[in-house]
Structure formats: structure tokens, C-alpha cells
Amino acid sequence: MTNLARAGTFKLGDRLVHRVGYGAMQLAGPGVFGPPRDRGAAIAVLREAVAAGVDHIDTSDAYGPHVTNQILREALHPYPKDLVIVTKVGAERGPQGSWDPAMSPSAIRRQVDDNLRNLGVDTLDVVNLRAMFDTMGPAEGSIEAPLAALVELQREGKLRHIGLSNVTRNQVEEGRAIASIVSVQNHYNIAHRSDDALIDSLAAAGIAYVPFFPLGGFSPLQSTTLSDVATKLGVTPMQVALAWLLRRAPNVLLIPGTSSVEHLRENLAAAELDLPADAVRAVDSL
């Protein structure tokens, strides 16, 4: 079994967690909408992840909607004491599966209550506010109102810690002036590195950075380069991409997602992959 401790730990809120976790998005149906084709397989993946030492799971009640959190509850409740569940608010699903902005204070409260109910907990460990000014990526706009709503819910005891997702550097600065921010979750990978400076500044502040889409956005040439590196090392391209992210900065926490136990094991094995210097140079060149 993979030793996740090889990749080190980092503080997420008030808890030290292994730097390789699990993202639950793929446990819902196609397009992250509706139920999965095989609910039993989804449950098996979650139980395998926790058995392997995963101690932080990323989710959202918008996945399904409600489906992923309900599967999490069925698979793992009562949750292990060392498990940190991170969820998101700021978007709700339309009847045809659209991702609709939902950042009013009343919508934030509704989403927090939905997460509490479907996860079966009294308090959420970490809630990320996903800024939805543009569904295609980060866009400027004030997050004061939805973040203030989360702070109020935090005072009520409904959540312990607050994070941000899909945000610009300006929004991170605005958020940190309003609340204690424990993590930032943004699009970042080998080919998409616009957050380089942000990662470093967050590391200096002791704030976790959680990249999503670790293989997203590659051109065929970049995919070929990554595949060549993986072939030489006898591993998968995803393992190389994850290992590179772990090497990028000590505050990077990974949440690779899958609905397959076999693929889960491959992803977790990246915790033990030490990239040689020539592999790092090749990947850095992308």
C-alpha cells in the first residue's frame, strides 16, 4: 500500500493532513449530474481511499446535485476522526445540469444547510466560497457579501474554516481582510501556471493551495512530452503531473478524482514518486 506520508503533510485549518487527498466530483453521473452508473463502485472508491490513508476529501453539494454528499455519507458515516471534508458553495445546478451562480447571503445559507444535511454532520470542516462571476474561470468582482454570510455561519457553529475557490489574487486579498482563509482552490497544472506568484505568497502565509484539473488544458505536443517522461519512468502521465505539483510548493494539496479503485491507487502512488532532475526539466519546459 502507498505510504502517503512520503509526500509530507500541510495544515488545513487546524488539522495536519497528508498532501495527497481525494476529489469526489467524479462520483456523480456524467457531467457531474445525476446518480453514478454504479453506486457500489463509488462507495468502494471512498472506502479504499480512507483505508489507504487519505484524510481530506473535496466535495460539494452541487455535485449531482446532492448525490456525491449522500454517497459520502453512505460510505463513510460516522466519519473517521482524522478525516477533513472540504465542501464548496457559490453555485447551484439548474434542472438541465447548468452551473448557476448562487452567491447571495440566502443562497449561501441554503447551500451550507444542504451540505450539513446530506453529509450528516452538525458542523462542516472547511467550506470554500467559489466565486462565480464567470463560469469559465476567475473574474474580478467583490466577494464581500457571500463571504460575510459564511463568516456569520461560522459564528453560528455551522462551519469551522473558510476557503476560496476560482478566485483572483485581488479576491484572495479581499477575502483575507474579511475572514481567516485556510485554503485557495484554483485551476493550476503543468501547462496552466498563472497562479505561480499566488502559490508562493500563500505558502509564505501558511495557506494551502489546492489545484484542480491537474491534466487539463494540454495541447497534443504537451501531452506527448508528458507521456514521454512517464514512459521513461515507467509510470503514468497523471502520476508525473501529480508528482510535479507536489514538488512545486510545500503548501500544495492534491485532490485527484476518480470513480475507479485501480485508478485511485495509481493516483495515490504519486506520493512516492521522486522525479529525477531531467524529468523535472522536461516537465518545466511545457
Q: Could you read off the pLDDT of 190-221 as tens digits, one per residue?
A: 988 999 999 999 999 999 999 998 776 444 45
Provide DSSP, 264-285: HHHHHGGGG----HHHHHHHHT
Whether 1 is covered by a domain: the verdict is: no
Looking at residue 286, its pLDDT comes to: 82
**What's the domain count of the chain?**
1
Confidence of residue 126 (pLDDT cuts 50, 70, 90): very high
* Alpha-carbon distance values, 34 to 31, 41, 56, 125 (Å): 8, 15, 24, 25
Enclosing domain of residue 254: 15-217+250-258
pLDDT at 172 over 90: yes
Whether 263 is covered by a domain: the verdict is: no
Whether 270 is covered by a domain: the verdict is: no
Whether 238 is covered by a domain: the verdict is: no
**If you search the block for the grid coordinates 449522500, which residue do you land on?**
70
**If you search the block for the grid coordinates 457559490, which residue do you land on?**
90
Name the DSSP letter for residue 129. E
pTM value is 0.96
Q: Which long-range contacts (CB under 8 A, 24 or more apart) does 203-208 make?
A: 203/249, 203/250, 203/251, 206/11, 206/251, 207/181, 207/182, 207/183, 207/251, 208/10, 208/11, 208/12, 208/163, 208/182, 208/183, 208/184, 208/251, 208/252, 208/253
Q: Of the candidates 242, 250, 239, 177, which has an alpha carbon nearest to the alpha carbon of residue 212? A: 242
pLDDT in tens, 73-104: 999 999 999 999 999 999 999 999 999 999 99
Which residue type, as a one-letter code, is found at position 267? N
Whether 284 is covered by a domain: the verdict is: no
Whether 280 is covered by a domain: the verdict is: no
What does pLDDT average to over the chain?
Answer: 95
pLDDT at 279 over 70: yes
- Cell reading at 27: 462520483
Q: Hey, which residues are catalytic here?
A: 63
pLDDT at 238 over 70: yes
pLDDT in tens, 42-72: 999 999 999 999 999 999 999 999 999 999 9
Whether 274 is covered by a domain: the verdict is: no
**If you search the block for the grid coordinates 485501480, which residue do you land on?**
262
* CATH number, domain containing residue 199: 3.20.20.100
Whether 150 is covered by a domain: the verdict is: yes
